[in-house]
Structure 1
Amino acid sequence: MPTLIPNLPRAAFCEIQCETDKEMHRKVVTKFPVSKIRPLQAKLALGASGKPSIEVSFAPFTLTTSEKEGSELLDFNTTLQADFINLPTTELSRLQNKTFDFPANPKDGYIDASFYFSNVHNPVDITKFVFGDFCDGKVPLTMVTKWVMTYENTGFEDFDLTFSVSLSG
């Protein structure tokens, strides 16, 4: 296995990993069943870093993989955790009807986001937030994302996903 180097950007790590992967067993890469991903709710809070964080929960589901050695059942029962978000506030009423763009990792200002699946933390690039109208203490949030499944060699392809979820504070 490649050695993890602290604070190494994902792009640089992938180059190192590609060299060592030539000798490693690789899983069959398949498409992730993106249509099964259903966001349930999201919560905005001030994170430990003093910057906003968002946690998105999803409806759980089970999927079956096909590998040379046989099939495997995998549970998708996880949350997406997004930290170090460069937002001006955590007050939902002040975010309504605003749009924010973010760079992908490893560029300065990226959102540190991931979800736990297949026994590893998988990175997610979040490149846009679109906040809707504030109502009853919530605001609809649309997120433009890229789920980087190949980073930890999960056996699934990376995919883009834009989804909307109700955000509370």
Structure 2
Amino acid sequence: MITPDVFKDALLTQDYETMRFAIATGFDVNTVWQLGRPSFLQIAQTMNDMESLRILYEAGAVPDTPWLENLFKDFSRGVIRTHDGSAHNPCLQPGIRDLTENFTVLSLEYERGICHFSRGMHTIEITLKPFILDGECVQTSIQADRIALPPSLDDLLGQRFIFPRNPDAGYIDASLYLRQAHNPVYISSILFKNFVHDKRQIEVVMQMMFDFEEEMIGFANEALTLEIALFLEGWE
């Protein structure tokens, strides 16, 4: 269990993996780590650590300064602030599509995947190419935590692993943040195909179901078979 002091240390050392792990296992980012001391958000603001601030925002942190309120409004519109405080909108780049009228998971572009091994469990993050929805720029990703897999690549290659759905033991805790909601993503299987040594990537096929109806965001549930290469982090 991650304590407030451990989370504070992860914040100060910019240990984003520990921060994400703590949040995935139920840590409340609005916890007061010590009475009379700055909040986690205020610490990140003082450090001007935009990555930590975005992690805290996505975890439901409540802004407690006017600057943070404005920053969170930018985050909700897809505006990204860099470490020097400047802002840019990724949806101003050429080729960004407006999916307001014809949104489907098949029209999303799955740009980059990372598989990280930590504390005996795996996490997978799949970044989506920014897109426009409801007149706002959306920059989001599929975050999958608590994936029980063998630690050795030799035990993965050529194997398909089947996973139950929540709340059965062994399920993958995955979601897609969209329309101000963490929408469940049920990953039922992962097939590990080829390992690309020079790129430290493994090609996988994932069967998943996007549950948009639970949070009632206006889209129907959709199934997807996704083939993507995952960059490996934290593997021996």
TM-score by length of 2: 0.51
Alignment of 1:113-132 (within 5 A): 113-132=174-193
Q: Map 1:1-169; keep pairs closer than 5 Å.
A: 32-47=103-118, 50-63=120-133, 72-89=134-151, 91-92=152-153, 94-136=155-197, 137-169=200-232
- CA 162–142 in structure 1, closer or farther in 2 if over 3 Å, else same: same
* TM-score computed with the length of structure 1 as normaliser: 0.70
Please, which runs of 5 or more residues in structure 2 have no aligned partner?
Answer: 1-25, 27-100
Question: Are 2:132 and 2:138, in contact at CA under 8 Å, matched by a contact in 1?
Answer: yes
> For residues 175 and 209 of structure 2, what CA distance do their matches in structure 1 show?
10
Query: Which residue pairs with 1:12 in the alignment?
Result: none
Higher relative contact order (CA 8 A, sep 6+): 1
Contact kept? 1:93, 1:134, Cα under 8 Å: no
What SS does structure 2 have at the residue aligned with 1:82? Answer: strand
8 Å contact kept, 2:185–2:208: yes
| Richer in strand (by share) | 1
Question: SS at 2:106's partner residue?
Answer: helix
Q: For residues 222 and 102 of structure 2, what CA distance do their matches in structure 1 show?
A: 8
Report how many residues are paired: 131
| 2:128 partner letter | F
TM-superposed deviation, 1:87 = 0.3
CA distance in 2, matches of 1:81, 1:95: 20
Higher helix proportion? 2
Contact 2:164 2:170 in 1 (8 A): yes
**Distance in 2 between residues matched to 1:164 and 1:76, nearest whole Å:** 22
Report the alpha carbon displacement of residue 75 of structure 1 after superposing the two structures with TM. Answer: 3.8
Taking the aligned partners of 2:193 and 2:107, their CA distance within structure 1 comes to 24
Q: Which amino acid aligns with 1:99?
A: R
CA distance in 2, matches of 1:98, 1:76: 34
Q: Distance in 2 between matches of 1:149 and 1:118?
A: 10
